[in-house]
Amino acid sequence: MLGFLLVLLFVLLFMGLPVAFALASTSILTIAIFTDIPLSITVQRMFGSLDSFPLLAIPLFILAGTLMATGGISKRLVNLASAFIGHIPGGLAGVTIIACMIFGAISGSSAATCAAIGGIMIPVMIEKGYGRTFSGATTAVAGELGSIIPPSIPMILYGATTGTSIGALFVAGIVPGIFLAIILIIFVLIVSKRKGLVGEIKTTWKEQWEAIKDSTLALFMPFIILGGIYGGVFTPTEAAAVAVAYALFIGIFIYKELKLRDLVKIFHEAALTTATIMVIIAAAGVFSWFLTINSIPQQVATLIIGFTDNAMTFLLIINLLLLIVGMFFEASSAILILAPILFPIALKYGIDPVHLGLIFTVNLSMGMITPPVGVDLFISCKIAGISLEEITKGVLPFFVLIIIHLLLVTYIPSFSLWLPNLMK
């Protein structure tokens, strides 16, 4: 039965069937052929998978990100970063990374971050001689920060799936996210200097002050969201609702760049993205439930534990598995499928649930920049006007840094856990 399940799933995925339909079809056909379980149960399990208060944060953060991209918040974040480091050779690439980090601290989505900041920065970098490949690759890699910097949609999914504190996951993502941004900035500045790129005209203190004032409300948003969560004022889900209300108010009444006629298109885009994710969650819920009732996670656990009793080796196995899966599955799908299987095994090895969540998030965020399912690659390709092959070559030099970062998160637990432990 397990062999039929896995073979059918990979055949359907190889045929190009969307992930949600492949998961649901595989589960339903296996249940129909090998069990006496009524098929009506599958519908109940799909709805049950969506009946989770923390999951409500996903559509709200998606909507907040769309509102910010249209309402002028992302543009002001870019202007602020450019005012301070735009004059450094390669400064525009550094601006892109900083803007992605800040925008990621609001939107929670890698794809939204890449699209919002890339739409502004890639054309500018190309115009200034950075090259289409380097500009697109830098933006695609920087977009990864949207999944690691809290609030993070993959963290929400992992927390909702495993019962791990989403607030603790958010706190744990701060240090790894900032550290990754720093090493990426250093790398692009070194590469830019070797390319002979020049910076913009250095801004005056007055211009920098104007940029700070103009972006104050935009910068205030992450503090409201994260401060409210960590301060116990509201939950991550309630924080997402606050983010939507704040983005609406600022975009319409303060910046006045968000028009009422834009709202229909914005809500339509957010609804489509949300529907896609929710259908995947529902299908993955049936798939995970079927695996669980047939003790598949326990069988996998027995197999892995029989292979090694060393936690370090287990973490290596997990990383290799996630790296491969992330190339073919979108991060949300991979978490929903693998977290219920690997989570109980990790507990047997004494691995902290929050630490495991960071490993999932950091590793699967790499899938956003690896073909064939690298969403950030496709977004940057479209904006930069280059092929997937070209941008993949541009991303390769970044991979050494990203792997080093992943190894630090994996094998130095305190790298992720010291801040949550400190706050406890």
Strands (E), 45-84: none
**b/e code 364-380 from CB counts within 10 Å (16+ = b):** bbbbbbbeebbbbbbbb
Residue 15, in any domain of the structure? no
Residue 37 is assigned to a structural domain of this protein: no
Which are the contacts of 358, defined by CB distance < 8 A and separation ≥ 6?
A: 169, 172, 173, 176, 409, 416
Give the type of residue at 194. Answer: R
11 part of a folded domain: no
pLDDT along the chain (424 residues), means of 10: 79 78 86 86 84 77 79 80 80 88 80 81 84 91 89 89 90 93 93 77 82 84 77 80 88 86 87 80 79 71 72 89 79 82 88 95 88 76 84 89 94 91 77
Bond from prior residue into 372 cis (ω within 30 degrees of 0): yes
Residue 15 burial by Cβ neighbours in a 10 Å radius (0-12, 13-18, 19+): exposed
Q: Residue 395 — left, alpha, or beta (φ > 0 → left; ψ -120 to 50 → alpha)?
A: alpha
pLDDT at 213: 86
Q: At what angle do helices 153-162 and 331-348 cross, to 10 degrees?
A: 40
- Kindly state whether residue 229 falls inside one of the protein's structural domains: yes
- Left, alpha or beta for 350 (phi > 0: left; psi -120 to 50: alpha)? left
**Complete DSSP assignment for 282-335:** HHHHHHHHHHHHTTHHHHHHHHHHHH---HHHHHHHHHHHHHHHHHHS-HHHHH
Rg (CA), the chain: 22
In the structure encoding, which two tokens stand for residue 103, read together? 């925008």
pLDDT of residue 196: 78
- Residues with Cβ within 8 Å of 424's Cβ and at least 6 positions away in sequence, in order, are none
Q: What is the pTM of this model?
A: 0.78
The total domain count for the chain is: 1
Distance CA 347, CA 358 (A): 15
Tokens (6 digits) for 422: 């400190």
Residue 300 makes CB contacts below 8 A (sequence gap 6+) with: 341, 345
Asked if 64 and 240 count as a contact pair (C-beta separation under 8 A), the reply is yes
- Expressed as residue numbers, the domain containing 290 is 52-423
Distance linking the first and last C-alpha atoms of the chain: 45
Pairwise CA distance, residues 404 & 412, whole Å: 12
Does residue 85 sit within a domain?
A: yes
Q: Is position 275 within any domain?
A: yes
What's the pLDDT at 386? 85
Tokens encoding 416:
């992720």
Q: What is the dihedral of CA 384, 61, 243, 178, to 10 degrees?
A: -60
Query: What's the rounded Cα separation, in Å, for the pair 376 and 96?
Result: 14
Could you say which DSSP state residue 373 is in? S
CA distances to 21, 43, 367 from 279, rounded to whole Å, are 9, 12, 20
244 lies in some domain: yes
Which of 330, 326, 341, 366 shows the shortest CA–CA distance to 288?
341
Q: Which residues 6+ apart lie within 8 Å of 366 measured at CB? A: 144, 323, 326, 402, 406
Confirm whether 235 is domain-assigned: yes
Residues in the chain: 424
How far is Cα 417 from Cα 420, in angstroms, rounded to an integer?
A: 5
Please name the residues in contact with 64: beta carbons below 8 A apart, sequence gap of 6 or more. 106, 107, 240, 243, 244, 246, 247
CB 166 within 8 A of CB 160: yes
Contact call for residues 136 and 386 (beta carbons, < 8 A)? yes
Cα(65)–Cα(108) distance, rounded to whole angstroms?
8
